[in-house]
């Protein structure tokens, strides 16, 4: 039974992403290491983050945004 006055129930599912966060960080670390011959690791990580944040509105959180960020420009 739903109490009087309640019209909307919201669910916050963001915590489901935290389970996978270590996988994203590990993949990012491996990617940075893989291409570190082409730039400074901090610059690569920064470029990945910047690209991921710029694409957040389009792709949201998750593997798609993380994967697309790997196509970013480093040092630009």
Q: Give domain limits for the chain.
A: 21-69
In the predicted model, is pLDDT for residue 71 greater than 70? no
Confidence at residue 12, expressed as pLDDT on a 0 to 100 scale: 61
Comparing CA positions, the residue from 38, 42, 39, 30 lying closest to residue 66 is: 30
Q: What is the mean pLDDT of residues 15-26?
A: 75
Nearest-5° Cα angle at 25, 22 to 28: 150
What is the pLDDT, as a whole number, of residue 74?
Answer: 62
Cβ distance 31 to 55 under 8 Å? Answer: no
Can you give the pLDDT at residue 55?
82
Instruction: Give pLDDT, residue 38.
Output: 84
């Amino acid at each position: 039974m739903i109490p009087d006055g309640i019209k909307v129930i919201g669910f916050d599912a963001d915590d489901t992403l935290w389970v996978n966060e270590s996988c994203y960080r590990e993949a990012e670390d491996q990617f940075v290491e893989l291409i570190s011959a082409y730039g400074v690791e901090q610059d690569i990580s920064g470029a990945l983050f910047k690209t991921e944040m710029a694409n957040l509105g389009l792709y949201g959180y998750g593997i798609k945004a993380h994967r697309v960020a790997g196509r970013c420009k480093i040092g630009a």
